Amino acid sequence: MSQEPQTEWQGQPTYQKRGVLGHARELFRLRHDKSTSRVGLAAVCFVGLFSLIGGRLVHLAVTSENTSEVRRAASSEISAARPDIVDRNGEILATDVKMVSVFAEPRNIVDKDEAVELLTAVLPDLDATDLRNKLGTKKGFVWVKREITPRQQAEVHRLGIPGIGFLPENKRVYPNAEAAAHVLGFANVDNVGIAGIEKYIDSMGLQDLNGAGFNISAADLKPIQLSLDLRVQHALRDELAKGMAKFKAKATAGAILDVNTGEIIALVSLPDYDPNNPVDALDKDRINRINVGVFEMGSTFKALTVAMALDSGKYNINSTFDARSGLRYGRFTIGDYHPTRRVLTTPEVFVHSSNIGTARMALGIGVEGHKAFLRKMGQLTRLETELPENALPIIPPRWGELNTMTIAFGHGLAVAPLQALSAVGALVNGGIMIKPTFLKRTQEEARQNALQVLKPETSEAMRYVMRLNASTPEGSAGNASIAGFFVGGKTGTAEKVINGRYAKNKNFTTFTAVVPSDKPKYVFLTIMDEPQAIEGTYGFSTAGWNAAPVTGNIIERIAPLLGVPPRFEPPVQPFPLMSRLGAWGSNR
């Protein structure tokens, strides 16, 4: 029997069993007919490789520092820049300094527990649990710690943790610490104004620009120039602190107003706070008592009553008022603290601080006339200044004759001290009501929107009686009458209202001084909350024994800084109209 050749059958399985490896070997043999396949395979490999790289780049573009969240954080740093705040002489009161903050991209942190451990070792004040929770999110951006030191930045950088980065930020700094704290206010960690002039700056459009995404640097912003004088501010704070300690007062405050421009030259309220670390700024004892507090101003309000009486034309400087006995109204009797029990002229009513005399003046004008005058003098509405913190006065809901009688001598109406100070400025500057400001301005700018609220003759009469009160033995302002400065003034003592009742042993004392009283430039205000009687005050805690001498010390120290040097000879004929009318005291 014949058989098939073995060679053909035996070679066939060798060809059929050639697998992928065999094909690959065959492909890469240096044979001309295999070149097309090799090029195709190389092209496929390159396409795959570049696709992989491109995908990774897209991933990084979405999740790395170029994320919208990181970009927003970076741009907010630029837009959060704030303008410098300077005093009237160009001294820096507030400025920005560059700081660095640490951020994290949780999606790019591989070992979150290790990152927490390393970061808390370098930044020990971080809360580990809070940080772990932040890193456990799927957010593209979270803050780790704001405003770190350069040394801390170097230590974090050395950790080399992927997903941890740094952003430059602006930190608001107040180089004079507590000085002018209640005027400046402060900015938070995001450099947003929270109070005072800082909040005013934002309200003028800075935050609108920030919100619109404009990249603003501090160099693009013109400094805000205030009316404050830093030298005067420091001196005022120092003298108030001394007075507060001496008379063991709960609190004290003071302000100085330029009567011709309405500029606030200095404002202090103690206790205060450091705006660099305003942790206790919201403490109720640290409010701005000049703007935010409302108080019954006591006898300092008698200046307004006397001015109202004189300006009405119904009374003049030689009018008389019966103070021989108490003034009865129903079951109430109004008496004088130091009764004279005689008929008093207009200047005597002021100098003796007669409650009876001023009540009779107000009754003569009438309830509606009294209210209209106080409204004209800005005492019945909120005083608006650049500071957002301005308090509403507390007005009697039903204002009758008894209210008019008591308000005439400073009881029953509570106002912000700056309101009262502004009104006194109008009493002595020729009768022009100028809205107070914390921004520097000229006299011409101030008078553009000013109102003539009193006759010039009335203003001279008020300067005259205020000077009498400081220069005659009967007056209560003698302790503030510093030689050479021709001081005029008025004291005020009011019992504080505690739980709806007047507390006999808790006084709120005030003193308003005009310097110089013949040609006024400045009005000084000092208030003291619950001053105590001390050795030398003979058991008294009224304004003449505490607020007045403190104001005298302030005037003696500050007037030369304000360009008011002492005069060794008294002015000749400082009040010509009063001399011509033969007013009480004009021949002294």
Residues 6+ apart with CB under 8 A from 221: 81, 82, 83, 84, 206
Are the C-beta atoms of 112 and 120 separated by less than 8 Å? Answer: no
Distances (CA, A) of 485 to 50, 258, 488, 515, 554: 88, 16, 9, 7, 12
Q: Which amino acid is present at 560?
A: P
Q: Position of tokens 């400073």?
A: 410
* Cα atoms found within 13 Å of the Cα of residue 221, Cβ hemisphere only: 26
Nearest to 516 by CA among 453, 458, 467, 561: 467
The residues facing 270 across adjacent strands are: 252
Are the C-beta atoms of 291 and 254 separated by less than 8 Å? Answer: no
Q: Is 269 noted as a catalytic residue in this protein?
A: no
The residues facing 268 across adjacent strands are: 254
Write out the two tokens for 28: 């890469």
How far is C-alpha 521 from the chain's CA centre? 25
DSSP state of 204: I
Instruction: Say which of 101, 227, 299, 422 is annotated catalytic.
Output: 299
Write out the two tokens for 45: 């490999």
DSSP E strand stretches across 435-521 = 451-452, 488-498, 501-515
CA-CA-CA-CA dihedral for 407, 410, 416, 417, to nearest 10: 150
415/438 Cα distance (integer angstroms): 19
Q: Strands 92-104 and 522-529: what pairing? A: unpaired
Give 98-138 as a DSSP string: EEEEEEE-GGG-S-HHHHHHHHHHHSTTS-HHHHHHHHTS-
439/352 Cα distance (integer angstroms): 38
Q: Strands 186-187 and 164-173: what pairing? A: unpaired
Are the C-beta atoms of 426 and 432 separated by less than 8 Å? Answer: yes
Catalytic residues, which ones? 299
